[in-house]
Amino acid sequence: MRAAHCTQYGPPGGLEVVERDELEPGPGEVLVRVHAAAVNFPDVLLVANRYQVRAPLPFTPGSEFAGVVAALGPGVAGPPVGSPVAGAVLTGAFAEQVVVPVTGLRPVPDGLDMVHAAAFHVTYATAYHSLVTVGQGTAGEWAAVLGAAGGVGSAAVDIATRLGMRVVAAASSQERLAVARALGAEAGVDYVREDLKTRIRELTGGEGAHLVVDPVGGDHAEAALRALRRGGRFVTVGYADGKIPRIPLNLVLLKDAVVRGFEIRMLRRYAPDAVAAGDQALARMVRDGMRPLVSRVHPLAEVASALTDVARRRTTGKVVIDMTDGVEPAVRTWAVGDAS
């Protein structure tokens, strides 16, 4: 099988595509024939050895994928071979095959092709739970979303708007703000040219945001925290800026604010019921027409340039690696409860 191959830490331009041995699923595992895999900023950080956890060399990067079940490991009763599934791993998804625990798979929602399914599973779940499960956002509240034209950011704008929240999108250019407005953002802040705290407060009638979702970090995090109203909630989701912010805790005290961290793998481990409820809510939104914003699709041969574009912030929404030249699998019905 073909797979992206990282043999030394550094810029993603050093990735190569190589031939590797076919994979075999072990007990409790499923072999998936990957049809598409989405590029996420943590993939860039893992290749550079700058992520919270380390991937030992050599490794195949890639975390978010969609494909069809190719084989079941010992003790696995389902999903049936041929079922369309989506899932996530720390590494290994930029390949024609991936092995994953059966508990880490989800059905592809009706209405999504494989490219959009690959861009949906982790990114939209992260955005939904940041807004709702952790952020406790409700209709009518102001939600400020940083990095609003990126993967998680654009998903958060889309979901928040559909849930009736009023969205202030924050991004690094007017072009990127236009992307967020097309997804439903009511207002926008160009945080390169405008003061983030001041503009959010102005746009929310002087009160500040009820909720901030921050997948960016860096110097913008403190300004966004200062833009909260009293009793507001701040959810830190990631650090696409490349710099982990240091927040003065007296701001939390003075604002009576709640600051929460969120990581989707932890929620899946410790709150599976919340994950299931979120999956159902997202499936309803897909039925109502919601689709991930996919700005570019690359073949596996271009995986290095795809990651480079994400690293240099040349993209909006999601970038996806297509392993199949657009050939879709046959669709079979599968629900989470069918797996064991």
**Of the candidates 58, 49, 63, the residue with the CA atom closest to the CA atom of residue 94:** 63
What integer pLDDT is reported at residue 329 of this predicted model?
Answer: 43
**Average of per-residue pLDDT across 195-207:** 97
In the predicted structure, residue 283 carries a pLDDT above the cut 50 = yes
In the predicted structure, residue 277 carries a pLDDT above the cut 50 = yes
What integer pLDDT is reported at residue 241 of this predicted model?
Answer: 81
Q: Are 148 and 313 in contact (CB under 8 A)?
A: no
What integer pLDDT is reported at residue 161 of this predicted model?
Answer: 98
Task: Say what the pTM is.
Answer: 0.91
Cβ neighbours for 165, distance < 8 A, ≥ 6 positions apart: 131, 137, 138, 139, 140, 141, 142, 143, 211
* pLDDT per position as a tens digit, 130-158: 999 999 999 999 999 999 999 999 999 99
What integer pLDDT is reported at residue 123 of this predicted model?
Answer: 94
What integer pLDDT is reported at residue 328 of this predicted model?
Answer: 52
Give CA–CA dist 305/307, Å, rounded: 5
Cβ neighbours for 306, distance < 8 A, ≥ 6 positions apart: 39, 296, 298, 319, 321
Phi–psi pair at 149, nearest 5 degrees: -105, 0
Class for the domain spanning 123-266? alpha beta
Give CA–CA dist 175/240, Å, rounded: 19
pLDDT bracket for residue 313 (50, 70, 90): confident
What integer pLDDT is reported at residue 243 of this predicted model?
Answer: 85
Q: Which two tokens mark 123? A: 């990114």
More confident residue, 331 or 120: 120
Q: Report domain extents, the chain.
A: 2-120+293-338, 123-266
Q: Are 263 and 239 in contact (CB under 8 A)?
A: no
Q: Which two tokens mark 75? A: 């003790």
* pLDDT per position as a tens digit, 27-39: 999 999 999 999 9
Phi–psi pair at 53, nearest 5 degrees: -120, 160
Query: Selecting from 3.10.20.30, 3.60.20.10, 3.90.180.10, 3.40.50.300, what CATH number does the domain 2-120+293-338 have?
Result: 3.90.180.10
